[in-house]
């Protein structure tokens, strides 16, 4: 996810939210025998970051692909690869890429799509240190690994879900193989997936979808994304997810529109016609305290509690699907 605009809120709403954030202590989700394991999800996030940078076509990406395929197959998922290529923004040489698709209940004609991007940006382009912007290591703990880590843990719970719908996880490659925000394209993996979904004959359709992006921040606050609320076909998905969070007492899901985000849900919806909403935390106090696209996007900025809360909301939302 790369560009965004903050929704205009009245001063009174902002003040109310700020006071609430300061006065209410963070709530911890109680883990039951079948609840989402945030600690294990966090360990998955650390595993991914231990591979280093995972930009498209890199050795780190290849190692990640091998790790993820083994993980999902071990848990009973049917793993396939959607392979494509694109030119490197600098060298102009072709870069092999692959969207990872994991299916459960593959015979079902009505399916739910859960997705995230699993590549990392080549460089920490927003770092305050000019040298780091050119040469620094971008691990992408929150921006890349967090959504993937939630799906890795969610795979442990598939058997507890109703089989009314088929379920697909898709991890998109090349969401941000970007060196220059002005010239390099985003969302190559999700665009390819959306075009293939639209043009190819198929005997199934996606009835709902959720994109998970930047959901591991230790100071979690997930507002509703403007496009996801504006579209008629995704508004009920947003309402269902935030109502699930409210029922569970996960107050980090805030039922207010705060930002408009350019993310993978745009090509999925606008090209593929897939009703996908964006669940994303893009709330930073100011540029100096933001670690977005910097060397500071490390596992230490994320938490098991945040991953656990997001995962539990998604798990319970899936359980309520009928």
* Nearest CA among 182, 177, 212 for reference residue 192: 177
What does the pLDDT look like over 253-309, one tens digit per residue?
999 999 999 999 999 999 999 999 999 999 876 666 799 999 999 999 999 999 999
Domain that holds residue 8: 4-20+32-319
Q: Could you give the number of structural domains in the chain?
A: 1
| Of 131, 121, 138, 141, the residue nearest 281 (C-alpha) | 141
pLDDT of residue 321: 84
Residue 25 lies in a domain: no
Do the domain assignments include residue 260? yes
Whether 125 has a pLDDT exceeding 80, the answer reads: yes
Q: Is the residue at 231 inside a domain?
A: yes
27 within some domain: no
- Among 76-85, 155-164, 278-287, which is the least confidently predicted range? 278-287
Q: How many other C-beta atoms can be found within 10 angstroms of the C-beta atom of residue 204?
A: 14
Label residue 34 by pLDDT band (50, 70, 90): low
Look at residue 80 and tell me if it is in a domain: yes
Q: What percent of the chain has pLDDT over 90?
A: 86
pLDDT score, position 18: 33
Residue count of the chain:
322
Classify residue 43: in a domain, yes or no. yes
pLDDT reading at 170 higher than 50: yes
Please tell me the distance from the alpha carbon of residue 45 to that of residue 59, in angstroms, as a whole number: 18
276-280/205-213 β-pairing: parallel
Question: In whole numbers, what is the pLDDT of the chain averaged over residues?
Answer: 90
Does residue 205 sit within a domain? yes
What pLDDT was estimated at residue 253?
98
pLDDT > 70: percent of the chain: 88
Q: Tell me: the pLDDT tens digits for 188-207?
A: 999 999 999 999 999 999 99
Sequence-distant (≥ 6) Cβ neighbours of residue 147 within 8 angstroms? 115, 116, 117, 118, 211, 212, 213, 214, 215
Between the CA of residue 57 and those of 44, 49, 119, 264, 306, what are the distances in Å? 21, 16, 9, 19, 30
List, edge to edge, every strand of the sheet that includes 276-280. Answer: 78-87, 94-104, 166-172, 110-117, 205-213, 276-280
In this prediction, residue 289 carries a pLDDT of: 73
Q: 26 lies in a domain?
A: no
- pLDDT-derived band at 1, boundaries 50, 70, 90: low
CB-neighbour burial class of residue 195 (10 A; exposed 0-12, middle 13-18, buried 19+): middle
**Residue of 14, 12, 10 lying closest to 283 (CA atoms):** 14
> Who's near 239: CB < 8 A, 6+ residues apart?
none
Residue 301's CATH number: 3.40.630.10
**Confidence grade of residue 39 (pLDDT, cut at 50, 70, 90):** very high
| CA distances in angstroms from 16 to 9, 10, 13, listed in the order given | 11, 10, 5
In the prediction, which pLDDT does 313 show? 98
Which has the minimum average pLDDT: 7-11, 73-77, 246-250, 309-313?
A: 7-11
């Amino acid at each position: 996810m790369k560009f965004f605009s903050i929704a205009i809120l009245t001063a009174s709403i902002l003040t109310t939210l700020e006071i609430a954030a300061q006065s209410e202590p963070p709530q911890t989700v109680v883990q039951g025998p079948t609840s989402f394991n945030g600690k294990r999800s966090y360990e998955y996030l650390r595993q991914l970051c231990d591979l280093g940078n995972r930009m498209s076509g890199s050795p780190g990406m290849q190692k990640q692909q091998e790790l993820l395929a083994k993980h999902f197959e071990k848990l009973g998922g049917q793993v396939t690869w959607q392979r494509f290529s694109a030119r490197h923004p600098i060298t102009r040489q072709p870069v092999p890429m692959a969207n990872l698709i994991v299916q459960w209940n593959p015979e079902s004609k009505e399916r739910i799509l859960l997705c995230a991007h699993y590549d990392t940006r080549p460089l920490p382009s927003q770092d305050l240190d000019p040298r780091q912007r050119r040469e620094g290591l971008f691990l992408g703990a929150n921006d890349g690994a967090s959504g993937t880590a939630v799906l890795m843990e969610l795979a442990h719970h598939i058997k507890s879900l109703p089989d009314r719908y088929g379920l697909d996880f898709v991890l998109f490659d090349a969401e941000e193989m970007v060196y220059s925000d002005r010239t390099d394209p985003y969302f190559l993996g999700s665009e390819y997936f959306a075009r293939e979904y639209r043009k190819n004959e198929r005997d199934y359709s996606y009835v709902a979808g959720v994109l998970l992006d930047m959901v591991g921040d230790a100071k979690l606050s997930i507002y509703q994304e403007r496009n996801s609320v504006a579209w008629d076909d995704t508004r009920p998905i947003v309402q269902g997810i935030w109502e699930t969070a409210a029922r569970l007492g996960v107050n980090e899901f805030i039922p207010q529109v705060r930002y408009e985000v350019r993310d993978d849900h745009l090509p999925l919806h606008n090209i593929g016609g897939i009703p996908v909403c964006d669940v994303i935390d893009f709330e930073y106090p100011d540029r100096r305290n933001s670690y977005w696209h910097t060397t500071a996007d490390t596992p230490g900025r994320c938490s098991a509690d945040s991953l656990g809360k997001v995962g539990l909301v998604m798990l319970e939302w899936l359980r309520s699907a009928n």
